[in-house]
Structure 1
Amino acid sequence: MNERELIERVQKGETEAFKDLMAPYERRIYSLLYGMVGDHEDALELTQEVFIKAYRSIKSFRMASSFYTWLYRIAVNLALDFRRHWVANPEPKEASDPPDEGGPDSSLLRKELNEQIHRAMALLSAQHRAIVLLREVEGLSYREIAEIMGCRLGTVMSRLHYAREGLRRALEPYLKGGG
């Protein structure tokens, strides 16, 4: 069954179709939210909130737009609200360790790089962080990001440029061997 049919079934009240509709997005939504809030438990909770909000709002979804951009917009808005209203400490918590592949030296270097990237991302505004994650991790187009973020295409390009510059500046000492 394709996505459109699942959406129509859910809109008609078939709740069991909702699980099938959300299954392909669960991991991606969680990853996006984790990147934005920096905490596993918060990201899991927000993922559930995204799905609850999507379920409650699905009758208003119009097939003229892309479902995943609609769903991502819900996720980004919830994460931005979360960071704005409920997080006392704006810096994300320590990143979890990457999977161990290779010897202890490569594992240590990977862990250190992961921590540096996490710190650099924490320096970005929530808007810039969301755009970087949507573009670089999720691989969305500028147009899709603009739709999700509710802004113009030029704004997305500008924010992404400044976010990349901020990341470059933050990571420069580490990449030059000084970190």
Structure 2
Amino acid sequence: MTEHEELIKAQSGDHHAFNSLLRHYLPSAYQVAFMILRERAVADDAVQEALIRTYKSIHRFNPEIASFKTWFHQILLHVTWKMAKRKRFFSPWKELLDNSSEGQPEYVYLQGENQKELYQTIRKLSKKHQTVIILYYMQEFSVSEIASILTVSEGTIKSRLHYARGELKNELMSSPHGEISLKEGWTWNKN
């Protein structure tokens, strides 16, 4: 069954189609929520809340305006940032960096001292810059997809990425490790 067919069935109330539709997006949803909240149980709650909101409002989804992936991640980000603000989960990433282990979704991005430093530096960015960095580099959304998720123009996303990269570069250039990679093509060498 295609995503479009699953969507039509899900909008008609088919629970199986809804579950099937979302199973493709759950791994990235958990990663996004965890990257922002840094606490597994709270990230699970955020994803569950996003799923409930998505299910309750799926009949209002219009595929001509955005893709389902974009629409779902928009709901997820709204819920996640609201939880972060309400619960004040803005402590350092210590738990993430100390407790990560292979096999856990969040470990995908945590490999080595450079990655730890990178995450600590990303954590210093504003909410807007953190969001675009996480979506663009770690979840590999396109600029247009991020613009749809955040309901801003593509130019705004490009601008936020530009300023976020600049802030990251300034911080990472003073890194004792010398070179940090955010993504292929974005490496800063201290020397």
SS, match of residue 134 in structure 1:
helix
Q: Note the residue ranges of structure 1 that are not aligned, 5 or more in a row.
A: 101-108
Question: Measured at CA, do residues 20 and 88 of structure 1 come closer, stay the same or move farther in structure 2, by a change above 3 Å?
Answer: closer
The answer as to 2:102 corresponding to 1:99 is yes
Question: Measured at CA, do residues 24 and 12 of structure 1 come closer, stay the same or move farther in structure 2, by a change above 3 Å?
Answer: same
Residues 98 and 110, structure 1, Cα contact 8 Å, conserved in 2: no
SS, match of residue 167 in structure 1:
helix
- How far did 1:138 drift? 1.7
TM, length-normalised to structure 2: 0.80
- How far did 1:169 drift? 2.0
- Distance in 1, Cα, partners of 2:140 & 2:43: 20
Q: Deviations over 1:60-116 (max 9, x none)?
A: 00121211000111111112212222215454443243539xxxxxxxx94422321
Residues 121 and 168, structure 2, Cα contact 8 Å, conserved in 1: yes
Q: Deviations over 1:109-140 (max 9, x none)?
A: 94422321221111011221111111111222
The answer as to 2:13 corresponding to 1:13 is yes
Q: Deviations over 1:127-179 (max 9, x none)?
A: 2111111111122211111110111111111111111122222222224289x
Task: Answer with 71-80 or 167-176: which moved more.
Answer: 167-176
Map 1:145-164 → 2, pairs under 5 A: 145-164=146-165
Q: What amino acid is the match of 1:157?
A: K
SS, match of residue 174 in structure 2:
helix
Aligned residue number for residue 184 of structure 2: none
Q: Which gives a bigger RCO, structure 1 or 2 (Cα 8 Å, sep 6+)?
A: 1
Residues 134 and 145, structure 1, Cα contact 8 Å, conserved in 2: yes
Identity of aligned residues (%): 28
Aligned residue number for residue 42 of structure 1: 42
Q: Deviations over 1:17-42 (max 9, x none)?
A: 21111111110111111112222222
Question: Measured at CA, do residues 25 and 162 of structure 1 come closer, stay the same or move farther in structure 2, by a change above 3 Å?
Answer: same
Aligned residue number for residue 176 of structure 1: 178
CA RMSD of aligned residues (A): 2.2
Residues 132 and 160, structure 1, Cα contact 8 Å, conserved in 2: yes
Structure with more of its chain in helix, by fraction: 1
SS, match of residue 94 in structure 1:
helix
Residues 39 and 93, structure 1, Cα contact 8 Å, conserved in 2: no
Q: Note the residue ranges of structure 2 that are not aligned, 5 or more in a row.
A: 104-109, 180-189
Residues 122 and 130, structure 2, Cα contact 8 Å, conserved in 1: yes
SS, match of residue 160 in structure 2:
helix
Residues 98 and 111, structure 1, Cα contact 8 Å, conserved in 2: no
TM, length-normalised to structure 1: 0.85
Aligned residue number for residue 104 of structure 1: none
Structure 1 outlier segments of 4+, above 6 Å = none
Structure with more of its chain in strand, by fraction: 2
Aligned residue number for residue 107 of structure 2: none
Q: What amino acid is the match of 1:12?
A: S
- Distance in 2, Cα, partners of 1:89 & 1:136: 21
Residues 38 and 89, structure 2, Cα contact 8 Å, conserved in 1: no
